[in-house]
Structure 1
Amino acid sequence: MNSELTEEEMRRALFGTPQPKEQVSTPLVLEPVPEIVFTKPAEAPLAKKKVTKAFTPRLRVTLRVGNEFEGKMTELIHEAD
């Protein structure tokens, strides 16, 4: 068996022989697109309701930082909505 194959022989071994694709040219037929216009239905103006602010929970993050093991600790607190 020949251990030195050309690139073309390797391609044929991996992918098989290339089959020529048949080129069939079909004319593109453009179908007429119906023109559609979307409109919003007329609505009666509604009275605007006053929105009351609901309770928004706050997030509180507490971080205790120290430079020594079981030594002086610094506490940082961050609050966010």
Structure 2
Amino acid sequence: MSLKKILESDESIEKKEQQIDAYYQSELITRVEACDLLDVSTKSLDRYIKQNKLPAFINKNRNILLKKTEVLAIKPEVDKMKEIFNK
């Protein structure tokens, strides 16, 4: 379920909070996990976020999280850039 659907549902606030927490756990990953998936440094990852190539979310604990599907979608571009600059 998407965040939009969760927020628009007729569920109670408590139920919505549970659904949002479950969404975070299933769909969002930490910066370190994203760096591992892309095989880049946190500095490089922060640059992609700053360039709006990867939208970041901040949870209630002020942690930066990213959608795993979006991280995987940018992987071919990252791999191509690594090829260009590692020659």
**Fold shared per TM-score above 0.5:** no
Determine which structure has the larger strand proportion and give its number: 1
TM-score (norm 2): 0.18
TM-score (norm 1): 0.19
Q: Which structure's relative contact order is higher, taking Cα pairs within 8 Å and 6+ residues apart?
A: 2
Rg larger for: 1
